[in-house]
């Protein structure tokens, strides 16, 4: 039997989870060893599995949210570039981010005075504390505030000059989450940011979702932001294995940035610069 035949047989077994991307004719598969948890929360289906090579796996409505093996890339790139480009990021808001990985990374910056994380589904944070405790090691930091409510309503009611950096760690733009990609939402973020404030939002795959990235950039600009850029980075368990985060600047895009003086697994000075290089097909 050829090796390819063996692999096909293995992929068709019950030991594998597959997330299919029908619009792009491909799928991601991860080998499972055990189901750890399943729950239908008031908002979504939450599942946690143990995999053979990628640590624990969290799914929301059947889509990969994170794995123990590669989540550090996403969390570091969603936080450190923006925080390092702001001269004094003392007040930070995270909308979404219920797994608390971004919260942990933000709190590595000593200059940060307080971080408010607002996520709709408290059960995601509960599951992260139980099955991804390494992501939640800073949840009890006195600078951290965790609220479980609607992030769109929260930012619409926020006072002006409330935050220096806003991080939108959201799921895909479907259902309730679609509001997090609207011009109205970006306008609310703009209003609540301090002078020279920075907004960063996950913006899906450059290969699969080019139109979304361009629409986000346009909506951010239309909402009043002075400059917009997109960061690109690998994320092997997300669609296409290539991901992005789009940043909007209330003032001018900073030419300089602070360097980190703590340990990271992916982010460094070279990555900070390289991630801003724009592929030709996105120009």
Q: Collapsing DSSP states into helix, strand and coil, what is residue 254?
A: coil
Report residue 56 CA to chain centroid gap. Answer: 18
Helix ranges restricted to H, the chain: 3-11, 71-85, 101-106, 122-131, 151-157, 183-192, 210-222, 269-274
The Cα 267–Cα 67 span in angstroms is 18
Looking up tokens 């063996």 gives: 6
Going by their DSSP bridges, the two strands 56-60 and 114-119 should be labelled as unpaired
The Cα 258–Cα 159 span in angstroms is 28
Active site residue 270: no
Report residue 102 CA to chain centroid gap. Answer: 7
Tokens of 2: 């050829």
Find residue 202's DSSP bridge partners: 245
**Which of these is catalytic: 24, 99, 169, 261?**
169
**Catalytic (active-site) positions:** 169
């Amino acid at each position: 039997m050829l090796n390819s035949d063996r692999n096909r047989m293995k992929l068709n077994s019950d030991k594998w989870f597959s997330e299919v991307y029908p619009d792009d004719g491909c799928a991601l598969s991860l080998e499972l060893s055990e189901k750890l948890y399943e729950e239908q929360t008031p908002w979504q289906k939450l599942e946690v599995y143990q995999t053979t090579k990628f640590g624990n796996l969290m799914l929301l409505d059947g889509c990969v949210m994170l794995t123990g093996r590669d989540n550090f890339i996403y969390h570091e790139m969603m936080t450190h570039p923006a925080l390092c480009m702001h001269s004094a990021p003392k007040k930070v808001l995270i909308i979404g981010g219920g797994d608390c990985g971004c919260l942990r990374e933000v709190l590595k910056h000593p200059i940060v005075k307080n971080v408010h994380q607002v996520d709709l589904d408290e059960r995601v944070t509960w599951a992260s504390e139980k099955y991804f405790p390494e992501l939640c090691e800073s949840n009890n930091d006195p600078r951290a505030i965790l609220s479980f409510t609607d992030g769109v309503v929260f930012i619409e009611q926020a006072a002006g000059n409330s935050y220096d950096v806003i991080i939108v760690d959201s799921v895909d733009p479907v259902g309730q989450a679609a509001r997090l990609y609207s011009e109205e939402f970006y306008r609310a973020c703009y209003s609540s940011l301090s002078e020279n404030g920075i907004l960063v939002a996950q913006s899906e795959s450059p290969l699969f979702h080019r139109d979304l990235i361009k629409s986000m950039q346009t909506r951010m600009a239309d909402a009043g932001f002075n400059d917009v850029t997109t960061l690109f980075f690998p994320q092997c368990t997300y669609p296409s294995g290539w991901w992005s985060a789009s940043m909007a600047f209330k003032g001018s895009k900073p030419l300089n940035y602070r360097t980190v003086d703590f340990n990271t697994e992916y982010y460094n000075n070279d990555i900070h610069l390289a991630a801003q290089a724009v592929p030709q097909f996105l120009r």
